[in-house]
Amino acid sequence: EKGGYDHFMLKEIFEQPHTIYDCLRGRLDAENGNITMSGIQKYAEQIINANRIIIIACGTSWHAGLVAEYVIEELCRIPVEVEYASEFRYRNPIIHKGDVIIAISQSGETADTLVAIEKAKEQGAIILGIVNAVGSSIARASHAGAYTHAGPEIGVASTKAFTAQLAVLTMAALTLGLQKGTLERDKYLLLCKELAAIPEKVDVILKLDSQIKALAEKYKDAADALFLGRGYNFPVALEGALKLKEISYIHAEGYPAAEMKHGPIALVTEQLPVVFVATKDSYHEKVVSNMQEIKARKGKVIAVITEGDTVTPTLADDIIVIPPAHEVVAPMLSVVPLQLLAYHVGVAKGYDVDKPRNLAKSVTVE
Ligand code: F6R
């Protein structure tokens, strides 16, 4: 059942080249620059003309929503708000007829997300569901949407569903941006190709498994860890911290790297591992200077960086080198080493990574 892997979580991490490919297949034709997403296209006019998009989700799916906020605002120039479903549903939220809500859920059964969209629907919002489980409650409660087609996710920690969510949301942003005219055709074509190249690049990253396992051994006794990133990689830092927390029970926090100096930097000591998601993008120089701030305080820096980067290796204690990619699609790559890191730390500590304590795969209670 686990296909030769020790755990479902590892199997699902390793499935990602295929699951992302399956998610793109039949929708993205990068050669000819075509994206087919019937659910999104049906509501394209309304989405393009919406005053705002509200993304509603929980946990890892909420992190995918945060990445989507950056991508949709950049490519479609539509204001996006990302909400925790549990907060949104109880807040008497302001919804206007025609507002567009995107609900993101692996299971399609998360109670808070389901109730939140039902409430918004009553108030006239258009609900788009980005869901993995076919025929699930959230899929049925949505007006339209797109399935992530990642296959059943058994490990409690979400991995392959997250990268598939990003793939779907990126395709949607690309097609809407092109139709709206906020995304130029040349850039659209480039990004289609960048997206199509993700599965093979994930494959390259998976070859780092034994290196990441060794890193996990080195840092497994840390009491705390920080995960930092900026821009498209900020939500990846949050996701890296969540994965480590739930699987290894090490207290971890994710932050936008520049927020360090507003408080958390007080935590930095020689004992603290600080994981930087520092791939080459438009934020890179700024991230490098944040890394210097941590090194100056003797924190242990582990950096996920892009092939060919000669600067960060001189600052970091350990590096994980991944293939280059356009910043819009980079989170689908930069999250993979963090999934592996959490997995190997959990295993090194002897924990049941497929069934972490206190957690359920699908949270059907509020
Ligand atoms: C973390 C994790 C959870 C879920 C959250 C939402 O690894 O799995 O944080 O992401 O419970 O679940 P779905 O996506 O099923 O709505």
* Nearest-5° Cα angle at 306, 245 to 207: 70
Assess whether the C-beta atom of 110 lies below 6 angstroms from ligand 1.
yes
Q: How far does residue 61's CA lie from ligand 1's centre (Å)?
A: 6
Distance in Å from the first CA to the final CA of the chain: 31
Mean pLDDT across 65-92: 96
Query: Residue 131 Cα, ligand 1 centroid: separation in angstroms?
Result: 11
Nearest to 106 by CA among 144, 70, 137, 72: 137
Please work out whether the CB of residue 158 comes within 6 Å of at least one atom of ligand 1: yes
Q: Is pLDDT of 363 > 90?
A: no
pLDDT tens digit string along 98-134? 899 999 999 999 999 999 999 999 999 999 999 999 9
Strands 100-105 and 126-131, how do they pair?
parallel
Please give the order of strands across the beta sheet that includes 318-322.
251-256, 224-229, 273-277, 300-306, 318-322
User: Can you read off the two tokens belonging to residue 337?
Assistant: 């080493």
Q: Give the pLDDT score at 87.
A: 95
**Could you report the per-residue pLDDT of 10-27, keeping only the tens digit for each?**
999 999 999 999 999 999
Tell me the pLDDT band of 356, cut-offs 50, 70 and 90: confident
| pLDDT over 90 (residue 366) | no
107 within ligand 1 shell (Cβ under 6 A): yes
Atom of ligand 1 nearest to the CA of 107: 15
Residues in the chain: 366
Query: How remote is the CA of residue 38 from the centroid of ligand 1, in Å?
Result: 26
Q: Say how many Å lie between the CA of residue 103 and the centre of ligand 1.
A: 12
Residue % of the chain over a pLDDT of 70 = 100
Mean of the per-residue pLDDT values for the chain?
96
113 lines ligand 1 (CB under 6 A): yes
- Residue 228 has φ and ψ, to the nearest 5°, of -125, 145
Specify the ligand 1 atom closest to the Cα of 57.
16
- Contact between 297 and 267 under an 8 Å Cβ cutoff? The reply is no
Question: What percentage of the chain's residues is helix, strand, coil (to nearest 5)?
Answer: 50, 15, 35
Catalytic (active site) residue 361:
yes
Tell me what the mean pLDDT of segment 79-91 comes to.
Answer: 95
Report pLDDT for 98: 82
User: Contact at 8 Å (CB) between 32 and 26?
Assistant: no
pTM above 0.95, yes or no: yes
**Which ipTM score applies to this complex?**
0.99
The residue nearest atom 3 of ligand 1, judged by CA position, is 59
Arithmetic mean of pLDDT, 135-156: 96
Are 227 and 245 in contact, with CB atoms under 8 Å apart?
A: no
How does residue 364 score in pLDDT terms, banded at 50, 70 and 90? confident
Q: Which pLDDT does position 361 carry in this prediction? A: 81
Distance CA 78, CA 85 (A): 21
Report the C-alpha gap between 329 and 192 in whole angstroms.
10
244: its two tokens: 């480590």
Taking each helix axis from N to C terminus, what angle separates 160-180 and 16-24, rounded to the nearest 10 degrees?
A: 30
